[in-house]
């Protein structure tokens, strides 16, 4: 559930009605369906039951309802390929920006005609409300125990909505994104960066050199709702947490809402302070707080900025549109050769608890993860690790491409056990309500590093304790 590009690109495209004094009233009215215990119970029943059974799409004509995130062509391409192999299955697809899916998910999933397959926002609230299909039955049917357990961990949630990482399986990722640092090769050559920085100190030096040479060191988005400074912040948190604890486990505990987990740690404070020095040294574009993801990408594509902090969903686009122009490296560790951390999260899809064609949807998900043609398409278009059984090889890609670099980086993170959930996904509203405003205020000099962590932790506890 890492932030995808279109989630950010499309935030501005929502059409909203005028005269919004009534917006709240209408919002409440839209949710007018009287909540009853009976309804919740029936949904719970539909969503339960980890039995193993045959699940496929049959031979009769089936029209699958899909609700996908706009701007991600891989899933649509996969449905088309699936129809070629299983002609009785047709797709009726609606695409919405991620923000729209996030805000509408409970309403859509609790409605009379929920989609069979849906791009999932943060799932804890949906699990708590019994709106998702428990996929443990499919886990047994399709033998998903062949998948690396860590790949499925982020989609496991206790039925009460917390903690995450344990309990039934509620969704499946069609690919597994990896984050890191993209750099402009021409600008890197200008500042004498001939190889990826091996340590954080080396990265600091490269950024300082770029600044001194009049090159913008970092182009980053950080507009509201799109707090892009969280990317470098979490990389830094990983570095300092690995130094303090030997792994990124404390960060993952926080993301997975483990009891007593806290983001207010000395290691995280060092991370925010480090980010603060970058801000004060003027390494970021000065208008970051007003720059959207789309603007950042268009500027970087056009040659502005030595690096951006982003994810491998851009790899395919870089390879096809700007071959040879950009490179990728993992965020460097504090000490050369040390363990590295990166946000590694699945692009999750779930099935509505009351979906009409739940079995076919699960069959499709299994096909995406295991069919060789589907996996090859997934890597070529999605640019990320296709997941699936550990025994299956990753489809080959052209050596030297950005996609090849990001896939190789995935191996490093797997070796170091450095995969992290995204801190912006710890709770549903934590990104919009806490992280983004906090890093924006840090950027504007209105909040101290310590204040960032304390503000976020207070919001986190409040959200977790909400009834």
Partner 1 sequence: MTSAISPVRSIGESHLTAAPRALTKRRARGAQLRGWLFVIPALVAYAAFVLWPIFQTFRYSFYNWDGVDPAQWAGAQNYKTVFSNEQLIGVIGHAFELILFFSGIPVVLGLAVATVMRRFVTGRMSTVARTVLFLPQVVPLVAAGIAWSWMLSTTGVVDEVLSKVGLGSLAQSWLGGFNTALPAVGVIGAWVLLGLCTVLLYAGMTKVDPALYESAQLDGAGPFREFLAITLPALRQEVAVCVTVTVIAALSAFDIVYISTQGGPGDATMVPGLEIYQLAFYNRQVGLASALALVLMVLVIGCILPVQWFARRGAEQ
Nearer to partner 1, 239 or 463 (CB): 463
Nearer to partner 1, 416 or 463 (CB): 463
Nearer to partner 1, 17 or 280 (CB): 17
Alpha-carbon distance of 215 to 221, in angstroms, equals 17
Please state, as a whole number, how many other Cβ atoms lie within 10 Å of the Cβ of residue 256. 22
Minimum CB distance to partner 1, residue 107 (Å): 7
Minimum CB distance to partner 1, residue 224 (Å): 3
Minimum CB distance to partner 1, residue 290 (Å): 3
Alpha-carbon distance of 431 to 394, in angstroms, equals 32
Nearer to partner 1, 24 or 259 (CB): 24
Phi-psi region of 130 (alpha: psi -120 to 50; beta: other; left: phi over 0): left
Minimum CB distance to partner 1, residue 89 (Å): 30
Minimum CB distance to partner 1, residue 23 (Å): 5
- Residues contributing to the site for partner 1 (CB under 8 A): 11-12, 14-29, 31-32, 35-37, 40, 102-104, 106-107, 110, 125, 128-129, 131, 223-225, 286-291, 295, 428-429, 432-433, 436-438, 440-441, 443-444, 446-447, 463, 466-467
Q: Which residues pair with 173 in a beta bridge?
A: 348
Nearer to partner 1, 31 or 390 (CB): 31
Pick from 110, 161, 121, 159: nearest CA to 354: 110
In the numeric block, which tokens belong to residue 316?
């395919």
Please state, as a whole number, how many other Cβ atoms lie within 10 Å of the Cβ of residue 281. 13
340 and 332 Cβ atoms separated by less than 8 Å: yes
Q: Please confirm whether the linkage preceding 166 is cis (ω < 30° from 0).
A: no
Please state, as a whole number, how many other Cβ atoms lie within 10 Å of the Cβ of residue 459. 19
Nearer to partner 1, 180 or 227 (CB): 227
- Report DSSP state, residue 63: E
Pick from 332, 367, 160: nearest CA to 259: 160
Minimum CB distance to partner 1, residue 321 (Å): 21
């Amino acid at each position: 559930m890492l932030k995808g590009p279109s989630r950010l690109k499309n935030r501005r495209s929502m059409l909203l009605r005028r005269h919004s004094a009534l917006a709240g009233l209408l919002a409440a009215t839209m949710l007018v369906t009287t909540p009853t215990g009976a309804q919740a119970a029936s949904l719970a029943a539909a969503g339960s039951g980890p039995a193993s059974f045959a699940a496929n799409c049959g031979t009769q004509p089936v029209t699958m309802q899909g609700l996908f995130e706009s701007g991600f062509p891989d899933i649509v391409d996969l449905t088309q390929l699936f129809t070629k192999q299983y002609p009785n299955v047709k797709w009726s697809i609606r695409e919405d920006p991620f923000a729209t899916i996030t805000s509408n998910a409970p309403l859509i999933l609790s409605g009379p005609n929920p989609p069979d397959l849906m791009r999932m926002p943060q799932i804890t609230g949906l699990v708590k409300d019994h709106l998702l299909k428990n996929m443990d039955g499919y886990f047994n049917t399709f033998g998903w125990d062949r998948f690396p357990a860590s790949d499925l961990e982020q989609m496991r949630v206790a039925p009460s909505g917390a903690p995450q990482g344990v309990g039934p399986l509620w969704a499946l990722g069609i690919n597994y994104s990896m984050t890191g640092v993209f750099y402009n090769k021409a600008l890197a050559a200008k500042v004498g960066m001939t190889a990826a920085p091996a340590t954080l100190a080396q990265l600091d030096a490269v950024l300082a050199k770029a600044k001194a040479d009049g090159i913008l060191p970092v182009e980053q988005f950080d507009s509201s709702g799109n707090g892009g400074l969280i990317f470098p912040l979490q990389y830094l948190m990983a570095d300092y947490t690995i130094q303090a604890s030997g792994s990124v486990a404390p960060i993952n505990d926080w993301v997975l809402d483990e009891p007593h987990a806290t983001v207010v740690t000395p290691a995280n404070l060092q991370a925010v302070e480090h980010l603060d020095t970058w801000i004060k040294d003027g390494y970021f574009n000065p208008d970051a707080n007003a720059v959207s993801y789309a603007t950042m990408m268009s500027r970087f594509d056009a040659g502005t900025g030595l690096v951006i902090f982003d994810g491998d969903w851009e790899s395919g686009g870089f390879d096809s549109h700007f071959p040879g122009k950009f490179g990728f490296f993992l965020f460097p560790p504090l000490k050369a050769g040390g363990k590295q951390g990166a946000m590694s999260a699945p692009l999750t899809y779930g099935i509505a608890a009351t979906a009409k064609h739940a079995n076919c949807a699960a069959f499709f998900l299994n096909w995406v993860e295991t069919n060789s043609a589907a996996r090859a398409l997934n890597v070529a278009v999605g640019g990320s690790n296709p997941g699936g059984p550990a025994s299956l090889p990753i489809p080959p890609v052209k050596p030297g491409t950005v996609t090849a670099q990001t896939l190789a980086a995935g191996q490093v993170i797997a070796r170091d056990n450095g995969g992290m959930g995204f801190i912006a996904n710890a709770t549903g509203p934590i990104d919009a309500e806490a992280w983004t405003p906090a890093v924006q205020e840090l950027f504007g000099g209105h909040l101290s590093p310590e204040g960032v962590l304390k503000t976020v932790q207070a919001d986190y506890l409040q959200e977790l304790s909400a009834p």
